[in-house]
Amino acid sequence: MKKMMSIIKPAGWLAAADIRLGEFQSAVDEANRVDRLWRRIAPAWARDETVPGRVRDGVLPVYCRSAVVAGKLRQSSLRLAAELARAGLSVSLAIKVDVGQLLPTPPKSTQRVLSARALTTLDNLHVDLPEGSLKSALAHLLSHQRNVVS
């Protein structure tokens, strides 16, 4: 009997996991359906500037790259909602500005430090250059590099 219970417990856990996986797959399918509908109905200028969110309580949030795009979409939101309803998705639109939804965070720039040999070479070049904008730019670079190294 004990061995039978040890078999039944994992089976119950697997059944619960299977149900959750099915719910997740349904949510993914719905998100893909909404995205396809939005791409088909949204104005051409807005397709790359917007991302539709998840429908909750009959409201479809649409995340915009900028306030300008959001303003334009708000002007036509009733028409867009009517077109979505004709396509089988009866929702109202909530136009939101959320750059984070669309743009990945740019990588942090790393400050590169010149090697000692490169600094020496540039220092010798600085001495040999005639007065002018190139010499002053090189002097600025060298002073900056020395501050970074120090």
> Side chain identity at 9, as an amino acid letter?
K
Average pLDDT over residues 32-40: 91
DSSP 8-state class, residue 143: H
Domain 2-102, architecture per CATH = 2-Layer Sandwich (3.30)
Backbone φ and ψ for 102, nearest 5 degrees, come out as -110, -35
Banded model confidence at residue 60, pLDDT cuts 50, 70, 90: very high
82, two tokens: 């009517």
pLDDT on residue 114: 80
pLDDT on residue 71: 92
32, two tokens: 């893909």
Burial of 142 (0-12, 13-18, 19+ CB in 10 A): middle
pLDDT on residue 65: 87
Residue 4: is its pLDDT beyond 80? no
For residue 96, list its beta bridge partners: 63
Average pLDDT over residues 4-9: 52
Q: Which of 126, 144, 143 is nearest to 135 (CA)?
A: 126
Q: pLDDT per residue over 80-126, tens digit each?
A: 999 999 998 889 899 888 876 555 556 666 667 788 888 889 889 88
pLDDT, averaged across the chain: 81
Share above pLDDT 70 across residues of the chain, in percent, rounded to a whole number: 77
146, two tokens: 């020395």
